Structure formats: structure tokens, C-alpha cells
A and B are shown apart, each in its own frame.
Chain A
Amino acid sequence: MMTRHLPWIAIAIIGAVALGVVAVSRGEAVNALWIVVAAVSCFLVAYRYYALFIATKVMRLDPSRPTPALRRADGLDYVATDRTVLFGHHFAAIAGAGPLVGPVLAAQMGYLPGTLWIIVGVVLAGAVQDFMVLFISMRRDGKSLGELIRMEMGQWAGTIALFGAFMIMVIILAVLALIVVKALAESPWGMFTVAATVPLAMIMGAYTRWIRPGRIGEVSLLGLVGLLAAIVYGQAVAASPFWGPVFTFTPLTLCWILIGYGAVASVLPVWLLLAPRDYLSTFLKIGAIAALAVGIVIMAPPLKMPALTQFVDGGGPVWAGGLFPFLFITIACGAVSGFHALISSGTTPKLIASEGHARVIGYGAMLMEAFVAIMALVGASILDPGIYFTMNSPTALIGTDAASASAAVTAMGFPISPDLITQTAKDVGEHSIISRAGGAPTLAVAMAEIFSHVVGGPAMKAFWYHFAILFEALFILTAVDAGTRAGRFMLQDLIGLAVPSFKESKGHMPGIVATALTVAAWGFFLHQGVTDPLGGVNTLWPVFGISNQMLAAIALMLATVVLFRMKRDRYAWVTMIPTAWLLVCTLSAGWLKLFSADAKVGFLAHAAKFSAAAGAGEVLAPAKSMAEMERIIFNDRVDAALVALFLSVVLALLFFTIRTCIAARRSAAPTAREIPAQLVPAQ
């Protein structure tokens, strides 16, 4: 009986040793593989025991119970799908830019805090959330998160959650677009390759529309060849005295280009631009993630970032605030991501063939995403810390040339010579690497380091750097386009609650108005981020993190309510512990963002500082005029209002959760509104 546990005990010991090496080593460089081994062993053990416990005891999954794919089979939306095939679908839908960016930003505190949070967070919170929401939706005909909350917690709770989800979407789109701006500004090579994907995708679109409909593999290969050509050719374009400047944009110009792009792309027919580019970005994403994993294992790089930096107490240049609570909102996707609740209650529950598959898809795919986050953290940590802080500190702190950046970063305690800064930029084929915040460029330098070690040597670094930038920009642009469309429908639904005629998708007017409002909303925050003297990521990423973790808290509160209503309260700690932790983190982070007296952290303190100066007729750097001062104050207040809004959404849902749980405890019989097991299939 005991023997079947032996291999797992061995894995647990390996994991504990690896984790010990990662946690305890000081002074000498630790190999990155220790982190990878620690993470993989923890994930395997958690999957074998904790996920199994949730499946059998908490949910009591029943493989004989018909899933929506069987009950409502239609061959289109509801299709019983092979477990492995569905795992791929689900993983591709949840893994995006989030798990790649957050850990890179979190590396400013050293590699240890991020590693531990990703491992513990995913096992106890992130994967539990995805799994629970999948379970809940699967037992309710694949209904969406908003509908599930309405069913189990009432009309009001559902509407508030829907509104919260829309605002989160807006912030996500703004942050993603900002990352693209940061990566492509003043980079003619990157800009050319990304711009080239637009006509390329349109050619692919025409091919799948008229020439060979449905031949996705063929057209993707065609597109890949085009992409590689664009990267190779981009170097010549950037070097050309005529074309180089044509593709060189300031961040502000790029911001307007992106806003225009978002507005136009989201109303084009889907087959023309969105679908073909989605093929490219999806396959490239999966390929790049796999290649990164192989590359890290082959290269086995040592970690150059210290385990902990002095910024754990706050005051870091990349983002403001101390380890608690800000680390836990900076790494959102990868540890726990509320956005996944929308996927787990989207297409996946309609495709799952048996309840028995829910564990590998709900819990397993999220572990896989955490592994992606671990790789991103490793990527940021194998770079020279001097390079890392040069790339991620705002120009307000380190200036814009190699000499000033080298002096400022060396003064932080991470010695770096101006020559190394210039040389690194030259190696990756960029004019400058100074203050390229947002995570994507840093990760691209790391990927260039790893890939060129495996294929091509130093001469290929510039190619791999632009390949990495292209791959990140591609799926971010796809997300911007798809997200604007989704936001439009969410907004139409919301406005439709007040003005029913607005929900009609027949007329063009509501669609155009809702699209314009959605683009204007994320465009506003993007513009604010681009013109932010602290680099934007500094301001917007925490707001994004708070909102995303709050959505996770909402999803876990729904899960708690369902457990209470199923009369399984004795197991409700499984969701209550992560809910409590997320509430503590997000509420205190939100509170600090609103009311902290430190102007670097608190929006209101920052606004007060600037308005006091404006009252005295002073212009504070980085503003250059009174008008800019006014804008900074206005932006601070908008951000504060937004955070306050998120706080009230989550508190309102907490109220509904407690009320529903108390009511469920008073009831003698289960009240959860599942589709009964014995119900005859609908067809």
C-alpha cells in the first residue's frame, strides 16, 4: 500500500532539497536549474495529492455524470473533446503576456520572493481557482462567470461582477498596449517587423478565406516564413538612412497609432486580420515557450541576480512599495490570475468530455502556466543585475545616456560600466536599452542570451532579440484586438441593462458606440501611462495587478459560496484560505495606493504634492508646464477613483458572499443550483 507513495516521496525530497538550495545559498551563484527542479517537483506532488484531494473529497467529481459536451452536444460549441487536445486548448487560452511580464518586474526584489510566491500561490490559490470555476461551470451547462455569480449569489452580485470584469478588461488592454509601446518606441527594427505582420496577416486571411479555406497549418507555415523574413529584413530597414527614420516613433506617436489600430482592427471582419494573426501568435507562443524550456535546460545558466535585493523593503526603481502586499499583486498571472475564471467558464467547460478530466485541465494547465512564469523569472535573473536595473528603471532616475545610467545603477549597488550598457544595446541591435520598462524587452534580452547560446552564438543575438519582441508584440496585439471586441459586448450588455435597445446587435450604432467607448477607455489609460514621467508601468501595473487579483478573489468567493450551498462547508477552507489571502493583499494594496502618505506609492498623496506645488506656482519635475502639472493631478485622481471602484466592487461581493453563505448554512438541504446528475441528456 505504501509503495505507491514511494516515488512521490522521492520527488518531494528532491523538491525540498532544490528549494533549500535556492533559499539558503548566499554569495556563490546558484544554477537556474535548481529553481526549475524545485518548481517542477512541487507541482508534481501538488497535482498528485492536493488536486486529487480536491477532485475526490471537495468536488466529488463523478466521471459517469454527463458533462455539458454530452448533454448539449451540437458538434460546434459543445463537443466532447479528447483530454490532451483540450488541455492544449485551455493552456493556449490562459497563457499570455501576463506570466511573462509580472515575474520579470518582480525580479527587482531578487529571485527568491517571486519563486516562492509563484510556487505557493499556484498550488494553493491559482490552480484551485481555475479548477473550481471549471467545476462549477461544468455542472451548470458551461455558463459564464457573470451568469454563475448571478445564479448563486443573486442579480445584483452578478451585475457588479460584470461591471468589475469590464473595468479589469480596460486596464489589461491599457497595460498590454503600454508594454508594446515600451518595446517598439525608438526601435525601427522591432517596429518594422511588427508592422509587417499586418499586411502579412491580411494575405493569410485572404488565403484562408478564398484560396484554401480552413488550411490553418499551411497558412501558418506561410506566415512563419514571412515573419522570419521580416525579422531578417528589419535589420536592413533599421540601418537604412531613409527607412530607418520612417519606422522610428516616439512613445507618444506610437500610443496614438495603437489607439487608432485598436479602433479599426476591432471592427474589421475577423477573418481578415484577427484570425490569421491569432494563428501566428498562438503557435509562436507555444513554440517559444517550449524552446525557452529546452534552452534553459541546455544552457543551465547561473543566476546573477541576488536572492534578495535591498528593495524588498520598498523604494525599488521598477515599481514602488514593499514586498507585502505589492509582490503579490505584481506577480498576478503565473501565481493566481482572476482572468482565468473567464476562460474556465468560457469554452473549456463546454468541451470537456468527462468530469474525470477536470483535474488535469483545470489544475494541471495552471501549473503549466506557473512553470512559464518560473521561466520568465529565471530569464530576468540570469541577466547581469546592472543590465536589469538599467533596462527597468525610469529615466527620471537614471537619465537617458549610458554614462548617467551606469552611474545611477552602480550607485544602487549593482555595478555596471557604460561600455557594457552600450555593448548590450549593440549586441541586440538597438539604439539604447536604457529604461525599457514593461518586462518584454528585458525578457527578450534574456531569451536572446539563452537562444543564442543554443543556436547561432553571439552573432544571432540581435535576431533572437527581435524574434522575442515580435512574439510578445504579436500576441499582445491579438489580445488588444480580441479584448476590444469582448469589451464592446460586455459594455453593450451592461448598457443594455439600463437601455434595453442598446443590447440589440442588429443595428450598427450600439456596436460602434460601445467599441468607441471601449477604445477610449483603454486609450485614456494608455496615454496616461505613456506620458507618465515614471514610465507608466510603475503606475499602471499595480492597478492591473490589484484588479486581476480582485477578480480572482471574486471567483474564489463564488467557489466558497457554491461549497456552502452544496453543504460541503467542512471543505470550504480550500477556497477560503486563498480568498482571505487575496483579500488581505488586494485590500491593503488598494488602501496603500489610495492613502499612503508616500507620494511614490499613494495616488492621493502624489496628487496633493503636485497640487500644493501648483498652488504655489511651482512646476515640479518631470512636468514642464502648469498644464502638465494639471494633467498629472487629474491622472492621479482618476487612478485613485479607479482603485476605489475596484475596492468597492470586491467589498460588495464579499458582502453578498457572506450573506449567501449564512443563508446556505441555515438551510438543511443543499441549495446549489447544479444541473441534476440523473437528468436525461437534452437531446
Chain B
Amino acid sequence: MSGFLTMLRQTARLMVGIPDYDAYLRHMLTHHPDQPAMDRTQFFRDRQEARYGGKNGGKCC
């Protein structure tokens, strides 16, 4: 059940353009351990800007 809820939560968040923070953190730790990773708030703001900055071609009619 908790797996289902996690998926539901991830789906809802990705619908509005916010990918999974934990996956990002895992990626940074495995591939770029030398670089500082963004914290949750920075990550959220970065993704918000990326989704709505206009570079993504907008949404459908």
C-alpha cells in the first residue's frame, strides 16, 4: 500500500514538473560525489523555474 501511495505522490508531483528529489540525490552521490548537491528547497525552485521558464514549449490546448 505504501508503495502505491509513493507512486501516486510521485505521479502527482511529476504532473506539475517536480521529479523525485531522492532520485536526484542518489544520482549526485553516485556520479558526482565531488560536487555539492542542491537541498530540497533549491531543487524545488530549480525545477519550478525549468518547467515554467518557457523553454519547454508550454502545454497542450
Contact = CB atoms under 8 A, between A and B. Distances in A.
A77 B23 CA distance: 12
Interface residues of A, number: 61
A309 interface: no
B45 A271 contact: yes
B24 A75 contact: yes
Interface residues of B, number: 41
B53 A333 contact: no
Contact of B7 (A84, A486, A488): A84
A79 B24 contact: yes
A340 B59 CA distance: 9
A214 B14 contact: no
Contact of B23 (A75, A86, A217, A279): A75
B61 A216 contact: no
A92 B60 CA distance: 9
Interface string B27-61: 11001000000001101111111111111111111
B6 to A, nearest CB: 10
A486 B23 contact: no
Interface string A65-108: 00000000111110101101110110011111110000000000
A275 interface: yes
A270 B53 contact: yes
Interface in A640-658: none
Given A89-B14, A169-B58, A217-B9, A76 B52 contact: no
A548 B61 CA distance: 10
Given A274-B52, A479-B58, A84 B31 contact: no
B15 interface: yes
A80 B40 CA distance: 19
A197 interface: no
A189 interface: no
Contacts of B50: 76-77
Contacts, number: 140
A155 to B, nearest CB: 20
Contacts of A88: 11-12, 14-15
A614 to B, nearest CB: 35
A79 B61 contact: no
B58 A81 contact: no
A596 B7 CA distance: 54
A217 B18 contact: no
Contact of B54 (A81, A98, A489): A489
A74 B47 CA distance: 13
A271 B51 CA distance: 11
A435 B40 CA distance: 50
A287 B19 CA distance: 21
A137 to B, nearest CB: 12
Interface string A451-482: 00000000000000000000000000011001
A81 B31 contact: no
Nearest to B25: A75
A483 interface: yes
A346 interface: yes
A485 B52 contact: yes
A466 to B, nearest CB: 23
Interface in A512-567: 544, 548
23 contacts: A76-B19, A76-B46, A77-B50, A79-B23, A79-B27, A81-B14, A84-B11, A93-B60, A97-B61, A172-B61, A213-B40, A213-B44, A216-B16, A275-B48, A332-B61, A340-B60, A343-B57, A346-B56, A347-B56, A479-B61, A485-B54, A486-B56, A486-B58
Given A216-B13, A486-B57, 11 more contacts: A74-B27, A82-B7, A89-B14, A92-B15, A274-B52, A279-B16, A282-B16, A346-B57, A482-B52, A483-B58, A489-B54
- Closest 5 CB pairs between A and B? A485-B54, A75-B24, A486-B58, A75-B27, A98-B61
Interface of A: 73-77, 79, 81-82, 84-86, 88-89, 92-98, 144, 169, 172, 175-176, 208, 213-214, 216-217, 270-271, 274-275, 278-279, 282-283, 286, 332-333, 337, 339-340, 342-343, 346-347, 351, 478-479, 482-483, 485-489, 544, 548, 683
